[in-house]
A = this chain, B = another copy of it.
Amino acid sequence: MISVGVLGATGAVGQRFVQLLAGHPNFELSVLTASKRSAGKKYRDAASWRLEVPFPEDVGDIIVSDTTVESLKKVDLVFSALPADLAGEVEMQCAKAGIGVCSNASTYRMEPDVPLVVPEVNADHLGMIDLQRDKGTDGFIVTNPNCSTIMLTCSLAPLRTFSFSDIKVATMQAISGAGFEGIPGMAIFDNLIPYIGNEEEKMERETLKIMGTFDGAEVQNAPFSVSACCNRVPVIDGHSMSVWIDIKDQVEKVEKAFRTWKSTLPDLPTLPEKSVDYIDLPDRPQPRLDRMKGKGMTVSIGRVRPGIRYQAMGHNTIRGAAGASILNAEVICDRDYL
């Protein structure tokens, strides 16, 4: 068992980390950090648990620590659910202190020697850990992308063998993506908001790095363009997106690619049977019905039509955040970086 911690364990993504790590076969949850206000309390009391899944009683007695590298002495690996403005310093300190960092924060995602990884898509980018170590970092920082970018890149994985140069994507994103307190009820009931700060830029930038080629020294960005329109919709969990990709081939070939594609990763606890699942029904995927497929780790695809157009959907705080980061860690362990 590898001893792990969660940074920012009381927020929306932090609670998902705790839920998914409680009972994990390889990772033992031993440190949970939060703001000073929560430090010293039992996690049970500090968390004010707000997931629809019952509280994992086993970890309820862990005393919440302050979010500092000192609190993390006994762990080998930390998962970071910190907001971007807080993540920078403590994540770097952890990495320098020999701790592996799997971060959901955006701070280091675009750094040249930090892997931005969706394992089914670009696990080879983990080779950048060697670059970090060459520079004297004992631990490492590995990041997962922004939630909507994860759904998009998973959906693109089966399409890599096709020729295309232009992607347009309109997202319809769930409110949990903004955190528990992020969006007032009055702002989103009977409504949608056609704006999510920085989200379009993240999708356009991160997708190219993830789909890019890593030659052992640096990433060459993928040679296509991405244009995103991001919308917040009144859905609790599950980011949907309508995607156009200028593939000239027939619909049938694209459908077949979605149906037959399989990840080449080994068997891992958090890897679903199908990372990409093509649903052969006229009105799917739908967030409430499909987001828990593969325990929330499957990206569901549907409605391939000429254009090529298709619909993709996945659970934003599992596949798109905490689960993504944990899967990264499982691949990292499997490849003996830890």
Q: Which residues from chain A sit less than 8 Å from chain B, CB to CB?
A: 12, 49-54, 168, 170, 172, 175-176, 179-195, 200, 227, 229, 231, 233-236, 240, 242, 244, 282-289, 291-293, 302-303, 305, 307, 309, 311, 313
Contacts and interface: CB of A to CB of B under 8 A. Distances in A.
A180 B235 CA distance: 18
Contacts of A288: 52, 189-191
Nearest to A241: B170
Given A170-B170, A236-B189, A54 B293 contact: yes
Given A185-B234, A189-B234, 16 more contacts: A12-B186, A54-B293, A176-B186, A180-B187, A181-B186, A183-B185, A183-B186, A185-B188, A190-B287, A191-B287, A191-B289, A194-B311, A227-B309, A229-B309, A233-B233, A234-B235
B311 A190 contact: no
Contacts of A292: 52-54
Query: Considering residues A227, A284, A289, which has the most beta carbons from chain B within 10 angstroms of its beta carbon?
Result: A289
A290 to B, nearest CB: 8
A41 to B, nearest CB: 15
Contacts of A189: 175, 185, 189-190, 234, 236, 288
Nearest to A169: B170
Given A185-B234, A190-B288, A227 B244 contact: yes
A240 B303 CA distance: 20
A194 to B, nearest CB: 4
* Copies of this chain, tallied across the complex: 4
Q: Nearest 10 A-B pairs (CB), nearest first? A: A170-B170, A229-B242, A195-B283, A191-B288, A170-B242, A194-B311, A185-B185, A183-B185, A175-B185, A185-B188
A194 B303 CA distance: 8
Contacts of A175: 185-186, 189
A182 B282 CA distance: 17
Query: Considering residues A189, A200, A303, A309, which has the most beta carbons from chain B within 10 angstroms of its beta carbon?
Result: A189
A233 B229 CA distance: 16
Contact of A282 (B176, B195, B227): B195
B236 A186 contact: yes
Contacts of A242: 170, 194, 229, 231
A283 B194 contact: yes
B229 A311 contact: yes
B191 A286 contact: yes
A170 to B, nearest CB: 3
